[in-house]
Structure 1
Amino acid sequence: MDTQIQFLAELNQLMDKLSFLSRDQLRVALKGYKAAEVHTIEFIGQHPDTNATTIADALYVTRGAVSKMTKRLIDRGLITRYQKPDNQKETYFQLTQQGQTIFATHERLTRQFMQRDMPVFDENPQEVAATLNFLHEYNQFLDQQVEQQK
């Protein structure tokens, strides 16, 4: 149990530090946009032809929350909704030009942050591989737990 507590504490501390180190640049570059808006834009930008269910499942939020978020993003001119000619039942989302700009800005900053952190990954490839393996297994376990909650 102590190892689990220590692992989760270290993971939380790591996420807090990553957030702290990126916060000011993100705040300046993406001024006026909330983190949840940027995350939704990022997901839509990375997953063309996405719908509300896909977004909700990926971001672990309700479809109602996605509905509110997509309405706000549409109102702000960041995304549009559309239907495919062969499927008039489903509504899909895509980025507008303004949404693409936000997406590209976030991607650029993410690449800069990754470049900053690259030395620790380059110096420890075996540890990184082992950690990735463990995180993958842990995620699979949590996926099972999530499915049981649905």
Structure 2
Amino acid sequence: MDKRQLLMSELMDLCNEIIWLNKPELEAALKGVTLSEIELIEHIAMIPNANVTKLAAASYMTRGAISKLTKKLVAKDMIESYQSEHNKKEIYFRLTENGQEINTIHQDLHRSFLKRDQEVFQQMTDEEFDTIFRFIGRYRQHLKNR
């Protein structure tokens, strides 16, 4: 296996290990909410005037999938739709109180995962962080250009 294959394999294994380790805690804290719903709630919290197009791009999902997911979240009273006074054609989404609560729990879990893993990050130099960020940035740009 050459270095490229080994690097990609190690990255995939790392991501899978993190997901495997975090998933039970996420599921226990956020019962009844799927990982896709949690991700969409997080995007709606972060993206100003979140609409189907913006959410699809941020989630790497189709607009149809986002439409289905937003309907589920509206039915669960986690998000609500609204229209801008300046653009009555476009439909936007924002979190309800329930959605904000889910997002807060999710963000708290992220902080606890970072705290759990802080010993790894404390050992890293700024140069190591910069190298990793440069690699990820170049790779993501390469994929976007495809």
TM range (shorter): over 0.9
Alignment: residue pair count: 145
Q: For the residues of structure 2 that align with 1:105 and 1:91, how far apart are their CA atoms?
A: 27
Aligned to 1:129: 130
Counterpart code for 2:120: V
Partner Cα distance (1:105, 1:48) in 2: 21
Which residue number in structure 1 is paired with residue 25 of structure 2?
A: 25
- In structure 1, the partner of 2:6 is 6
Deviation at 1:135, TM superposition (A): 0.6
- 1:40 equivalent in structure 2: 40
User: What are structure 1's unaligned runs of at least 5 residues?
Assistant: 146-150
Q: Do residues 62 (structure 1) and 65 (structure 2) align?
A: no
- Tell whether 2:93 aligns with 1:93: yes
Residues 24-33 or 114-123, more deviating = 114-123
In structure 2, C-alpha distance between the alignment counterparts of 1:121 and 1:142, rounded to whole Å: 27
What do the CA deviations read for 1:45-82 (whole angstroms, capped 9, x no partner)? Answer: 11131100000011111111111000110011000000
TM-score between both structures, scaled by the size of structure 2: 0.95
Q: Which moved more, 1:104-113 or 1:40-49?
A: 40-49
Separation in 1, partners of 2:48, 2:31: 25
**Structure-1 separation of matches of 2:117 and 2:142:** 28
Question: 1: distance between equivalents of 2:17 and 2:129?
Answer: 18
Cα offset, 1:40, TM superposition: 0.4
Distance 1:134 1:12 in 2: 15
Q: Please, which runs of 5 or more residues in structure 2 have no aligned partner?
A: none
**Which amino acid is 1:47 matched to?**
I
Residue in 1 aligned with 2:139?
A: 138
Q: How does 1:71-90 map to 2 (within 5 A)?
A: 71-90=71-90
Q: 1: distance between equivalents of 2:113 and 2:30? A: 15
2:4 maps to a residue whose letter is Q
Shift of 1:119: 1.8
Q: What is the CA–CA distance in structure 2 between the aligned matches of 1:94 and 1:46, rounded to whole Å?
A: 10
One-letter code aligned to 1:52: V
> Which digits, 9 at most, give the CA deviation of each residue in 1:64-105, with x for residues without a partner?
111100011001100000000010011000000000000000
